[in-house]
């Protein structure tokens, strides 16, 4: 829309011109080419906390105490200070170079107790109510024996507690506790939030727990998908079981036999969907039998041994479930192991689609409709501009370039589908990661919430608009560099809409170095 890169000319042009239909938000976001974090305060004086992230609405900064016992919530505020001289181009005064000049503490809540620790890599935010979801866990037991239907090889955690907290005042509204279980909490991988529905994957017992977050602040169990699919499945099976003895002993005996000899309700539905799909491929009975032997019965045990790796909501009624082998989940590089994706309807308890991770059809869906995998209904407008190949021509060109360089297309498909199912709230909506506005080295920094290896070289953000000028740089670590040769990790926390960012460099056995990047 704008012909000039001068901010004053852009404001005037905005007053006299109307952007084309459907592009008003894009046009407004172009102002971020002028509003960039151009100044850095290095190694700022700040509390010794683990800084997790900004909430998606930008209202809060989440952090945890170093002993992982307390949650500390800050509210961002803009730097302000007075200057008596006419020329205020000198350095900031000492009072303005502190953490509390940019943030005010909103609340401090003690969550963990005794041998529990807050899991610092987990946090989900419900913007409509300003609720935060946090967890505390006991240390995992990696060589725990499998019992009561547990999956062998999966660690055991004696106690996992989910907390629902109102961030504005720090009130603990409700808790949900899992005993002797395991949930993959790293970067929210085992939990997914969609509107007011929360899906928690029990890896140890292969159960998807669906909870609803009420306006009152209560966590309400909706259903558990795994051994049973409908709420009355267990009642129906127990009432029809032909067992002797009193009712309590019969129920216990039936449950033990069910765990040891029966497939779970979800696995039965998966197998029946695969069977019917192969059955309908052929119309001749002889060819059907041959095809079933080759494609179904030969791989029957492989299907039976599949476990749930990950789950995400596609909408309020459909789940995308990622299946794989136990060895694949335990492996550090799961891309080399086969994986499968199933679309499950929670209302009808039916599998409606099933794909392998080498499926070209699923890859086409991923390439053309990527936003449908990670943008929930009711998502704020600014959250819908996270760059992907389905909404950004530069991201699409980058994907096509990777595809052209790939030696094997099936391996390329597996690598691309490795990110499906998407991790909830794992990408920053900051406009500085909008690839239609800025170009940057994604090996050094990206919208994805991950720690990276630190570099002494500044990270450059260059405008896409010609003449492609350098707009700002972010240099992690100390201003004068670091002579320490030990491996250092860096994390970046960008505010969702303000020209404000934190870079946190972590060196083993040393206090983290925190820099604040802002527009002065």
Query: What is the DSSP track for 486-511?
Result: S--EEEEEE-SSSSEEEEEEE-TTSP
The residue segments making up the domain with residue 377 are 365-419
| Mean pLDDT for the stretch of residues 217-228 | 94
Question: Regarding predicted confidence, which is higher, 184 or 373?
Answer: 184
Which of 342-346, 390-394, 408-412 is the most confident on average?
Answer: 342-346
Cβ–Cβ under 8 Å, residues 230 and 349: yes
Lowest mean pLDDT among 76-85, 175-184, 294-303, 387-396: 76-85
b/e map of 416-440 (b: 16 or more CB within 10 Å)?
A: bbeebbbbbbbbbbbbbbbbbbbeb
For the cut 80, the answer to whether the pLDDT of residue 273 exceeds it is: yes
Query: Is residue 386, in this structure, part of any structural domain at all?
Result: yes
**145 contact partners, CB below 8 Å, separation of at least 6:** none
Cβ–Cβ under 8 Å, residues 42 and 32: no
| Mean pLDDT for the stretch of residues 356-364 | 93
Lowest mean pLDDT among 289-298, 351-360, 368-377, 467-476: 368-377
Query: Is residue 218, in this structure, part of any structural domain at all?
Result: no
| Mean pLDDT for the stretch of residues 89-93 | 69
List, for residues 123-135, the tens digit of each pLDDT value.
999 988 899 999 9
For the cut 70, the answer to whether the pLDDT of residue 76 exceeds it is: yes
For the cut 90, the answer to whether the pLDDT of residue 380 exceeds it is: no
| Mean pLDDT for the stretch of residues 415-424 | 89
Average pLDDT, the chain: 87
Question: Regarding predicted confidence, which is higher, 403 or 17?
Answer: 403
User: What's the rounded Cα separation, in Å, for the pair 354 and 374?
Assistant: 19
Q: Quick one: which of 477, 474, 505, 508 has its CA closest to 491?
A: 505
| Tally of CA atoms within 13 A in the half-sphere of 282 that contains its CB | 13
Number of domains in the chain: 1
Instruction: Say how many C-beta atoms besides its own lie within 10 A of residue 410's C-beta.
Output: 13
Query: Is residue 237, in this structure, part of any structural domain at all?
Result: no
- Tokens representing 91 are 């350095």
pTM: 0.90
pLDDT above 90 coverage of the chain, percent: 58
**383 contact partners, CB below 8 Å, separation of at least 6:** 56, 375, 429, 496
Confidence (pLDDT) at 477:
73
Question: Regarding predicted confidence, which is higher, 22 or 156?
Answer: 156
Query: Is residue 286, in this structure, part of any structural domain at all?
Result: no
Question: Regarding predicted confidence, which is higher, 487 or 401?
Answer: 401
Give the containing element (helix H, strand E) for 11: helix 7-16
| Mean pLDDT for the stretch of residues 483-507 | 88
Query: Is residue 54, in this structure, part of any structural domain at all?
Result: no
Which residues are 269's β-sheet partners?
none
Lowest mean pLDDT among 16-25, 358-367, 410-419: 16-25
Hey, is 234 helix, strand or coil?
helix
Confidence (pLDDT) at 146:
83
For the cut 50, the answer to whether the pLDDT of residue 244 exceeds it is: no
467: preceding bond cis by omega (within 30 degrees): yes
| Mean pLDDT for the stretch of residues 270-285 | 93
For the cut 60, the answer to whether the pLDDT of residue 377 exceeds it is: no
Q: Quick one: which of 295, 402, 272, 269 has its CA closest to 356?
A: 295
What is the band of 261 on the pLDDT scale with cuts at 50, 70, 90? low
**311 contact partners, CB below 8 Å, separation of at least 6:** 192, 199, 201, 208, 319, 320, 321, 322, 421
Question: Regarding predicted confidence, which is higher, 91 or 266?
Answer: 266
Query: Is residue 388, in this structure, part of any structural domain at all?
Result: yes
Lowest mean pLDDT among 213-227, 342-356, 427-441, 479-493: 479-493
Confidence (pLDDT) at 90:
64
Q: What secondary structure does DSSP assign to 384-432, as a single string?
A: GG---TTT-HHHHHHHHHHHHH-S-HHHHHHHHGGGPSPPTT-B---GG
257: preceding bond cis by omega (within 30 degrees): no
Q: How far is CA 190 from CA 121, 142, 353, 424, 486, in A?
A: 12, 18, 22, 9, 32
| Mean pLDDT for the stretch of residues 315-339 | 85
pLDDT above 70 coverage of the chain, percent: 90
Phi, psi of 350, deg, nearest 5: -115, 145
Confidence (pLDDT) at 254:
47
Instruction: Say how many C-beta atoms besides its own lie within 10 A of residue 212's C-beta.
Output: 14
Confidence (pLDDT) at 246:
47
| Mean pLDDT for the stretch of residues 438-443 | 92
Please give the span between the terminal C-alpha atoms of the chain, in angstroms, as a whole number.
27
User: What's the rounded Cα separation, in Å, for the pair 322 and 153?
Assistant: 18
Confidence (pLDDT) at 450:
86
Strand-by-strand arrangement of the 191-194 sheet: 191-194, 197-202, 207-213, 219-225
List, for residues 103-146, the tens digit of each pLDDT value.
999 999 999 888 899 999 999 999 888 999 999 999 999 888 88
Tokens 């390329």 correspond to 412
Give the containing element (helix H, strand E) for 277: helix 265-279
Query: Is residue 515, in this structure, part of any structural domain at all?
Result: no
Query: Is residue 208, in this structure, part of any structural domain at all?
Result: no
| Mean pLDDT for the stretch of residues 450-464 | 89
For the cut 60, the answer to whether the pLDDT of residue 249 exceeds it is: no
Confidence (pLDDT) at 248:
45
Cβ–Cβ under 8 Å, residues 131 and 167: yes
| Tally of CA atoms within 13 A in the half-sphere of 98 that contains its CB | 8
Phi, psi of 87, deg, nearest 5: -100, 115
For the cut 70, the answer to whether the pLDDT of residue 431 exceeds it is: yes
| Mean pLDDT for the stretch of residues 449-466 | 88
DSSP label at residue 439: E
Question: Regarding predicted confidence, which is higher, 468 or 191?
Answer: 191
| Mean pLDDT for the stretch of residues 313-327 | 93
- Tokens representing 106 are 């909103």
- Tokens representing 430 are 């900051």
| Mean pLDDT for the stretch of residues 392-396 | 91
């Amino acid at each position: 829309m704008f012909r000039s890169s001068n901010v004053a000319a852009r404001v005037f042009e905005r007053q006299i011109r109307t952007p084309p239909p459907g592009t008003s938000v894009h046009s407004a976001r172009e102002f971020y080419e002028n509003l960039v974090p151009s100044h850095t305060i290095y190694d700022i004086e700040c509390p010794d906390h683990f800084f997790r992230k900004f909430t998606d609405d930008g209202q809060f900064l989440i952090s945890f105490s170093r002993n992982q016992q307390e949650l500390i919530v800050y509210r961002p505020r803009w730097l302000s200070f007075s200057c008596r001289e006419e020329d205020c181009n000198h350095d900031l005064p000492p009072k303005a170079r502190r953490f509390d000049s940019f943030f005010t503490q909103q609340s401090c809540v003690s969550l963990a107790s005794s041998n529990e620790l807050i899991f610092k890599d987990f946090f989900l935010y419900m913007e409509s109510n300003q609720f935060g979801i946090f967890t505390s866990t006991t240390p995992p037991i990696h060589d725990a024996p499998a019992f009561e239907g547990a999956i062998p090889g999966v660690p055991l955690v004696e106690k996992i507690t989910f907390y629902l907290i109102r961030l504005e005042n720090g009130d603990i509204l409700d808790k949900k506790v899992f005993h002797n279980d395991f949930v993959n909490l790293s970067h929210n991988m085992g939990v997914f939030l969609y509107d007011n529905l929360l899906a928690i994957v029990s890896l140890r017992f292969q159960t998807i727990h669906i909870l609803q977050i009420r306006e009152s602040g209560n966590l309400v169990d909706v259903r558990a998908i795994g051994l049973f699919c409908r709420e009355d499945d267990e009642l129906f099976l127990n009432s029809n079981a032909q067992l002797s003895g009193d009712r309590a002993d019969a129920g216990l005996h039936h449950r033990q036999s069910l765990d040891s000899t029966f497939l779970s309700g979800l696995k039965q539905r998966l197998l029946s969907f695969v069977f019917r799909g192969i059955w309908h491929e052929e119309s001749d009975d002889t060819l059907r039998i041959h095809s079933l032997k080759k494609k179904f019965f030969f791989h029957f045990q492989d299907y039976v041994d599949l476990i749930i790796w990950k789950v995400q909501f596609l909408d309020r009624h459909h789940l995308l479930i990622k299946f794989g082998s136990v060895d694949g989940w335990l492996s550090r590089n799961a891309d080399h192991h086969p994986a499968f994706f199933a679309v499950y309807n929670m209302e009808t308890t039916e599998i409606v689609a099933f794909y392998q991770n080498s499926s070209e059809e699923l890859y086409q869906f991923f390439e053309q409709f990527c936003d449908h995998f990670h943008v929930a209904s009711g998502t704020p407008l600014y959250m819908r501009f996270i760059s992907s190949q389905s909404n950004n021509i530069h991201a699409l060109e980058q994907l096509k370039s990777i595809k052209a360089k790939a030696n094997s297309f099936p391996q390329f498909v597996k690598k691309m589908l490795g990110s499906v199912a998407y991790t909830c709230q794992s990408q920053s909506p900051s406009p500085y990661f909008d690839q239609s506005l800025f170009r940057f080295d994604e090996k050094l920094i990206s919208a994805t919430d991950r720690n990276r290896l630190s570099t002494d070289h500044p990270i450059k953000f260059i405008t896409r608009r010609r003449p492609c000028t350098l707009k700002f740089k972010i240099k992690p670590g100390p201003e004068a560099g670091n002579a320490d040769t030990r491996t250092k990790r860096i994390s970046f926390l960008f505010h969702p809409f303000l020209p404000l960012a934190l870079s946190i460099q972590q060196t083993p056995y040393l206090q983290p170095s925190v820099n604040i990047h802002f527009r002065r």
